[in-house]
A and B are shown apart, each in its own frame.
Chain A
Amino acid sequence: MNQIKTARFRENAHDALVDKQLQAVLGKFSDGFPVKRAQAIARMPEFDALRDAARDIKNHALENLGAYLEEFEAKVVASGGKVHWCRDAEEARQTVLSICRDADAKTVTKSKSMIGEEVGINDFLEDNGVEPIETDLGEYIIQLRKEPPSHIIAPAIHLSKQQVADTFRDNHRNRVSDRPLESPRVMLDEAREELRGKFLGADVGLTGANMLIAETGSIVLVTNEGNAELTCGLPRVHVAMASIEKIVPTLEDASTVLRVLARSATGQDMSVYTSFVTGPRRSEDLDGPEEFHVVLLDNGRTELLASELREILRCIRCGSCINHCPVYEAIGGHAYGWIYPGPMGAVLTPGLLGMEVANHHPNASTLCGRCETVCPMRIPLPSLLRKWRERQFTAGVTPVTSRYGLKVWAALARNPRWYRGLTTITSALLAKVAGKTGRLRRLPLAGGWTGSRDMPAPQSQTFMAQWRRRTAARKPGSRPGRS
């Protein structure tokens, strides 16, 4: 299901731009999350100080990651849980499957987990005879539609309610086929009923983890629906998957991150349910799983940790950068071709899949900087995108025409006399061609521009040429220079 289509970025973007249904949804996008975030922040004067604190906590945690991971593991084990270390996606898949097999699992309920999407756990479990059931409403809908998520917080945001209604009609077979499904309320109630039984019948509950707390060996689950608690509270076995950079040192550190997380994601001060899970049920508990497993993944994180791209590991998956990105707003999430869209996706995807596979991601950005303005963890996303571009340039991955054109431009820019000469000629030529209209409709080598835009014509002589004449006229015999 989560095939990698990153190389088709241009085609994906085109499909998105001509998709009227998608464009209608995206057209309302800036009225949603960005507005809510702004309202939440207006009520929290300390927000910027909290961002600084959150950034510092994460930097400290990453700088001391080994020690905190070992502490976390010790605490999980002390509370009766198990920690499984996995270097890559394959090891993670096998580990989860093995736990499911040991539990004789037929069905696995899931709460939202981006790391689960990353390793393709759903398809893998299905191929091996274990049925995974998404319980987050958005994830449930796209699971039925066999689509990847288009946003890391709101995975079904690209769909209209009509599309959701059609999906439910196609899949919820034990109901009257022409029942009314107009309102989201009715659809939610139907989904709740359908999934209730699945929650109760699951053998294993598979969650992600927003954070891992070293001090206590706890995982943090953040939802609004309550599906995470039902996922990990009802089955006999709870498996939590998390990548290693999710560590924070203490409960107090987690509290700081929580303050910026929900506000940045949905504009809530706190998500409805924030749960701290530590180990399996205790002997005196009346409910809860008998087994608790944490699957800890590297899957490219140590490589990022060692690189100049380390700062992306501060990402807490709030989606704020995505919500404020004008490129995302134009093309939506699927165009990015994998599971992480928008600015954080553009930085993370080349790190996880390789920059040849994700060669467009760092480049399909104007570096407008809005993402960095809103990131609660102060990740310098435009700088990181630029670092990927540097890597691509050095490795020769940048397309030939760009490199050649840039080389020519750079050579000119380094040589003012050639530059003056060539710009004088070009400027005069283009001005002549454009004539009285002041613009050109077609320009060789600039089809990317003139395909959809006129090119304003130069004003016939360059500034520097005119300035030279003007200053020579003012002071005959002297050359322009410092006064």
Chain B
Amino acid sequence: MSNARRDILAAVAAATEKDPNAAARVADRLSVHAANVIPQRGAEGEQVVSRFIEEAERAGTDIRQVSALADIPGVVSAYLREQNLAGDVRISSDPISLNIPWADEALIAVSHGAAEPDDTASLSVALCGIAETGTVMMKSSAENPVLLNYLPFLHVGLLPQSRIVGSLEMAWSALRRASGEGVMPRMVNLITGPSRTADIEQELLMGAHGPQKHMVIILKEE
């Protein structure tokens, strides 16, 4: 509706100051995209790993730490058994996850591609971990289709330790390096814990529409 567009923008223009420097200021803000206040809790440094774990666990995430890809099938299998879940895991086609020796665990059956409604578990690879809030950042791609993060009962995020940063702002820098300036993948998902709701009498319940369980495996590379 081009008339609506014209009318709305005209009304906006009439309501705001006519400042000759405005256009330059706007262009500058967009291209520089400076950070504002970053709290101490989001600072970079050695503490980011322990802080990530602390904040993630506070949000209900199950954290596991491994030092080799080979450890992962055992961790996932143990968890599925603990939770009394079937062993099907739909995994990301990210090179890291493809290199996991899934065949080592007889009880796990892996599949690839887009998530299906009946999938029990999924594993996707995180672009970043954000220590400030214990959040993993997932970006959509051919290798990491979005619904891996949302459809299954258990979602496992694989997070290489070197990708843990202090703040969300650092994560955006990482994303811009990966995708390019001003270019976004279809979805960037920040995930902090398993799904939850408090809509019935303000009683907090974990496990709403998204995954009931959320695990992050921190991979400490050599």
Asked whether any CB of A lies within 8 Å of a CB of B in the complex, the reply is: yes
Q: Does A302 contact B (CB under 8 A)?
A: yes
Task: Tell me if A152 is interfacial: C-beta within 8 Å of chain B.
Answer: no
Contact bitstring B165-198, A, C-beta under 8 A = 1, else 0: 0011100100000000011111111111111111
Docked complex: B1-45 residues within 8 A CB-CB of A? 1, 4-5, 7-9, 11-17, 22-23, 25-26, 29-30, 33-37, 39-41
Is B37 touching A49 in the complex (CB atoms < 8 A)?
yes
- Chain B proximity mask over A371-412: 1 for CB below 8 Å, otherwise 0: 000000000000000000000000000000000000000000
* Contact of B73 with A by CB under 8 A: no
Task: Name the A residues within 8 Å of B69 (CB-CB).
Answer: none
A227:B209 contact, CB within 8 angstroms = yes
Bound together, the chains give a CA A476 to CA B16 distance in angstroms of 64
Distance of A271 from chain B, by nearest CB (Å): 7
**A22 at interface, CB cutoff 8 A:** no
Q: Are A138 and B199 in contact (CB under 8 A)?
A: yes
Cβ-neighbour of B150 out of A87, A229, A256 (below 8 A): A229
User: Which candidate, A274-282, A417-425, A430-438, is the interface stretch facing chain B?
Assistant: A274-282
Q: Which residues of A contact B207 (CB under 8 A)?
A: 188, 192
Given contacts A44-B39, A64-B25, A192-B209, 19 further A-B contacts (CB under 8 A): A45-B39, A67-B22, A85-B5, A87-B7, A137-B208, A154-B198, A187-B200, A188-B205, A227-B209, A233-B187, A249-B30, A249-B33, A250-B29, A253-B36, A270-B133, A278-B188, A282-B186, A288-B140, A288-B145
A272 touching B186 by the CB < 8 A rule?
no
Assembly CA distance A137 to B201 (angstroms): 12
In the bound complex, what is the Cα–Cα distance between A422 and B222 (angstroms)? 89
| CB proximity to B under 8 Å, residues A139-158 | 141, 154-157
**From residue A158, how far is it (CB to closest CB) to chain B in Å?**
10
- CA separation between A256 and B150, bound complex, in Å? 26
Chain A residues within an 8 Å CB radius of B33: 215, 249-252
**With the chains together, A244 CA to B187 CA distance in Å?**
22
- Are B187 and A226 in contact, CB atoms less than 8 angstroms apart? no
Docked complex: A275-329 residues within 8 A CB-CB of B: 275-282, 284-288, 296, 298, 302-303, 305-306, 310
* A50 surroundings in chain B (CB, below 8 A): 36-37, 39
CB pair B184 A199 closer than 8 Å: no
Could you list 26 A-B pairs, sorted by A, with CB under 8 Å? Answer: A66-B9, A66-B12, A71-B26, A75-B182, A141-B200, A159-B200, A160-B201, A161-B200, A188-B207, A188-B208, A229-B210, A249-B26, A251-B172, A252-B35, A252-B36, A270-B135, A273-B191, A273-B210, A277-B186, A279-B184, A280-B186, A282-B185, A287-B115, A296-B8, A302-B12, A306-B15
Q: Hey, which chain B residues are within 8 Å of A84, CB to CB?
A: 1
Q: Within 8 Å of chain A (Cβ to Cβ): is B113?
A: yes
A84–B149 alpha-carbon span in the complex (Å): 30
The answer to whether B110 has its CB under 8 Å from any CB of chain A is: no
Would you list the 3 A-B pairs with minimal beta carbon distance, nearest first? Answer: A226-B210, A306-B15, A302-B11
Q: Is the CB of B209 within 8 A of A135?
A: yes
Q: Which residues of B contact A (CB under 8 A)?
A: 1, 4-5, 7-9, 11-17, 22-23, 25-26, 29-30, 33-37, 39-41, 55, 59, 113-115, 117, 132-135, 140-142, 145-147, 149-151, 167-169, 172, 182-203, 205, 207-211
Q: Which of B4, B13, B37, B195 contacts A226 (CB 8 A)?
A: B195
Interface size grouping (class) on chain A: 35 or more
When each residue 42-62 of chain A gets 1 if its CB lies under 8 Å from chain B and 0 otherwise, what string results? 001110011001000100101
- Residue pair A287, B199 in contact (C-beta under 8 Å): no
**Known interface pairs A85-B5, A233-B150; A226-B141 also in contact (CB < 8 Å):** no
A residues in contact with B40, CB < 8 Å: 45-46
Contact assessment for B9 and A69 in the assembled complex, using a CB-CB cutoff below 8 Å: yes
Q: Is the CB of A63 within 8 A of B36?
A: no
Residues of A contacting B192 with CB < 8 Å? 268-274
Q: Verify B146–A233 contact, CB threshold 8 A.
A: yes
Distance between Cα atoms of A199 and B186 in the complex (Å): 20
B179 to chain A, nearest CB (A): 10
Distance to closest chain A CB from B113 (angstroms): 6
Cα–Cα distance between A155 and B197 once the two chains are bound (Å):
12
In contact, B195 and A273 (Cβ under 8 angstroms): yes
Would you give the shortest CB distance from A289 to chain B, in whole angstroms? 9
Which of B1, B183, B201 meets A91, CB within 8 Å? B1
CB distance from B57 to the nearest CB of A (A): 13
Residues of B close to A271: CB separation below 8 A: 192
B9 touches A70 (CB 8 A): yes
